[in-house]
Amino acid sequence: MTFLAPWNLAWLGLLVPLGILYVLKRRRQERPVGSTLLWEQALRDLRAERPWKRLTPQVSLLLQALVIVAGSLALARPAGVGRAPRGARTVVVLDVSASMGARVDGERRLDRATAVARSIADALPPGGELMIVEASADPVVRSPFERDATALGRTLDAVQVRGARADLESAVALAADRLQGAPAGSRVVVLTDAALDGTLALDAGAVSVEVQRVGGEAANSAIVDADARARTDDPDRADLFARITHHGPSTADLYVTAHLVGQEAAIASRRVRIAPDTVESVLFTVDLPPDAAGRSPVVELSLAAADGSTDALPEDDRAVVPSPGRGKLPVFLVGTAPAAVERVVRADARVEVFRTSLARLAERDPDAPPLEGLFVYTGDVPAEAPAGDSVVIAPAGDRVFELEVGEETAAPQVLTWDEADPRLRFTSFRDVHLATLRPLVGPAARALVTTSGGSAIATIARSDGETTVLGFDPTRSDWPRQPSFVVFFRNLLERARERRAAGGVPPGTLGEPLRVPAPEGATVAVETPGGETLSAVSRGGLAVVPIPAEPGVFRARVEGGAERFALRSLLDAEESDLRPRLEVTRGGERATGALVEAEEHAESWPWVAGLLLVLLLAEVAWASRREAAA
């Protein structure tokens, strides 16, 4: 037998005051009387009525001591081998997707889930341990196997909603992996609102998986998409797009309002009535001139019910989008860029081209502000990648930053290309023929276009930008004569422009920590949309600042450096649909009844036991100080 709450054995200390109360004699008021003869006889009568009276004080003390011992032992929660085998381990997989932030009947789904997790932690069998896995885009082990309920409680307190969708299957797989070789009775408990599309296969080998649902259905309206595009007829005007959806039993009457971040006055507003489970698009044409410093404004779109009520998930009622802005994107052509490339770049009206060289860039004052724009290197590249985005065409050396450049091969055939990558949007390499290629190799690189001779186009992602490397000279191919060439470079320009407008911090989901590029050891302070200030120290050129799952503009101030900002919005139709719809399967078959309603067993008996002990103490204090009549 073991004790699940051994600290409650401290109640045994009550035996000391109990004994003292019995040992100490009661102070009585002396009163002279004529004769005590009759009183003595009366007391003898009482004793005669109850022959066991002489033993009563000892019996009372014994009983009270036994009650204290039993109560203390009960509070210490003695446990033996019961339904859950000794040493059985439990992994709680907590869904921290955005929908878990929804409030149903005044309680947040995540709070409900953590409460259930706490009750599981409190009910661990002897020797049992609990692991907490956070299911977000990638599963994260928040707490290794732990048996201390207090430590587990602290971990659960720190769990926050993330904006990304929860990959429950990966999280369950991770949990099952950690339970390999665990004692019999070990299990995985998934706590989710089941508000996600698709299925969850409970095929975790020998490990038992329970899926418990928290939170019921809730009506919700959401902005699921937002964008701002400059109008071609007037650079200071822009079209604001928003897609609004509503899930609920009745039609929603909503106001969609746009205003500039930092300004209270609305720049556009419209009333929208949305039928359940439909999507409405809203288009505003507004003036978005840059401010006096030439900075482009950030637009916030918000959603509000016409009757002033709030819905279950406020996080998806706001979205921030960068305005297209008026400032032109600086493009630095370093070296002799192919004419076709320069022609495509110059064709973009919102680009300002600068010709330069590595030598001239090296002459720049190191303390001068970094150049923010797109660098296009042809041939030679610097030893270190510049901040922001860059393109390398036909590298001359054997290395391009973290990439290795292979030996030249002749006439490689294009095999595949990554159609999902935004740089290759609307492009095709089906009819592209290369004369030569120096394949790009390296673990840090991700191939965008693969040929029979190796990777032809690859990309290196960094916290403060990305580098796209072409392992060939476009002029020695038929690619420049094809539309995909123009589209590819326009995509690169658009991507660089978006990153610049987005504040220079890599994009991320709601609640995902900000990764702010900063010099080693520099402190980065981040101001949240709610006015809270968070900070972190840069390690390896990056400061990772945990932020709350709050939509809006996060402003990062790098110690002794420039200001950056990051925009965070949910904009996820799946997360905004709060209806439980996850389908659980086992062995390929739909597992009916596998998804059960989570129950939180809040134990109230310790309070009752504690109260009884206090009452007992009061009774002892009263009884022991009261002289028995007999």
Partner 1 sequence: MSGSLLDPDFIARLERLRLLARRRFAGTAGGARRSTRRGASVEFADHRAYAPGDDIRRIDWNAYARLEELVLRLYVAEEDLTVHLLVDRSASMGFGEPSKLEVAKRLAAALSYVSLAGSERVAVVPFGDRADRPLPPTRGKRRVGHVLRFLDGIQATGETDLAQAVDQFLARRPRPGLVVLLADLLDPGGWTRPLDRLLAEKHEPVLFHVLAAEELDPPSGGDFAFVDSERGTRVEVSLDARARRAYLARLGSFLEEVEGYARKRGISYVRVSGDDALEQALMSYLRAG
Please answer whether residues 411 and 433 qualify as being in contact, where contact means their C-beta atoms are separated by less than 8 angstroms.
yes
Q: Which stretch binds partner 1 (CB under 8 A): 33-41, 137-145, 481-489, 593-601?
A: 33-41
What token pair was written down for 209? 């998986």
623 binds partner 1 (CB under 8 A): no
Residue bearing tokens 């971990």:
155
Phi, psi at 56, each rounded to 5°: -55, -50
Question: Least Å distance between CB 30 and partner 1?
Answer: 5
Kindly state whether residue 42 participates in binding partner 1, applying the rule CB under 8 A: yes
Of these, 23, 26, 363, 430, which contacts partner 1 (CB under 8 A)? Answer: 26
> Of the candidates 1, 16, 23, 29, which one interacts with partner 1 according to CB under 8 A?
29
Q: Give the whole-angstrom CA distance, residue 514 versus residue 565.
A: 10
In whole angstroms, give the CA distance from residue 61 to residue 215: 50
Q: How far is the CB of 623 from partner 1 (least distance, A)?
A: 11
Among 1, 16, 33, 368, binds partner 1 (CB under 8 A): 33
Determine, following the binding rule CB under 8 A, whether residue 630 of this chain makes contact with partner 1.
yes
Q: Which of 45, 107, 599, 603 contacts partner 1 by CB under 8 A?
A: 45
Of the candidates 326, 116, 104, the one whose C-alpha atom is nearest the C-alpha of residue 217 is 104
Are the C-beta atoms of residues 522 and 543 closer than 8 Å to each other?
yes
Nearer to partner 1, 83 or 626 (CB): 626
With CB under 8 A as the contact rule, the residue among 10, 24, 38, 55 that binds partner 1 is 38
**CA atoms 92, 96, 97, 100: torsion sign:** positive
- Range 421-450, binding partner 1 (CB under 8 A): none
- Name which position in 10, 13, 24, 41 contacts partner 1 (CB under 8 A): 41
The conformation of residue 162, written as its DSSP 8-state character, comes to: -
CB of 628 to partner 1, least distance (A): 7
- Look up residue 438 and give its two tokens: 């120096």
Which is nearer to partner 1, 520 or 627 (by Cβ)? 627
The crossing angle, in degrees rounded to 10, of helices 483-501 and 339-347 is 60
Decide whether 29 or 592 has the Cβ nearer to partner 1: 29
Confirm or reject binding of residue 46 to partner 1 (CB under 8 A): yes
24 in contact with partner 1 (CB under 8 A): no
Distance (Å) of CA 266 to CA 77, 252, 529, 550: 59, 22, 18, 21
Helix or strand or coil: residue 134? Answer: strand
Return the CA Rg of the chain: 35
Q: Which of 1, 16, 28, 80 binds partner 1 (CB under 8 A)?
A: 28
Identity of the residue, 10 or 46, whose beta carbon is nearer to partner 1 in the bound complex = 46
Q: Does 39 bind partner 1 (CB under 8 A)?
A: yes
Quick one: which H or E segment has residue 73?
A: helix 56-75
| Nearer Cβ to partner 1 (487/623) | 623
Closer CB to partner 1, residue 43 or residue 594?
43
CB of 619 to partner 1, least distance (A): 16
Is position 287 an interface residue for partner 1 (rule: CB under 8 A)?
Answer: no
Kindly report the number of other CB atoms within 10 A of residue 219's CB atom.
18
Separation of alpha carbons 429 and 472, rounded Å: 14
Q: With binding defined as CB under 8 A, does residue 621 bind partner 1? A: no
Stretch that binds partner 1, among 32-40, 76-84, 140-148, 412-420 (CB under 8 A): 32-40
Among residue numbers 475 through 534, which ones bind partner 1 (CB under 8 A)? none
Separation CA 118–CA 157 (nearest Å)? 10
37 binds partner 1 (CB under 8 A): yes
Residues 552 to 591: which contact partner 1 by CB under 8 A? none
| 400 touches 467 (CB < 8 A) | yes
Interacting residues of 339 by C-beta distance below 8 A, sequence separation 6+: 475
Residue found by looking up tokens 């009563």 in the block: 56
Q: Kindly state the smallest distance separating residue 1's Cβ from partner 1, in Å.
A: 43
Number of residues that bind partner 1 (CB under 8 A): 25
Spatial separation of the C-alpha atoms in residues 13 and 236, rounded to whole Å: 77
34 lines the binding site for partner 1 (CB under 8 A): yes
Contact 326, 296 (CB under 8 A): yes
Minimum CB distance to partner 1, residue 24 (Å): 14
Given candidates 6, 24, 36, 184, which one binds partner 1 under the rule CB under 8 A?
36
Residue 619 touches partner 1, criterion: CB under 8 A: no
Query: What does the alpha-carbon distance between residue 81 and residue 85 come to, in Å, rounded to a whole number?
Result: 6
- The residues of the shown chain that bind partner 1, judged by CB under 8 A, are 26, 28-43, 45-46, 49, 626-630
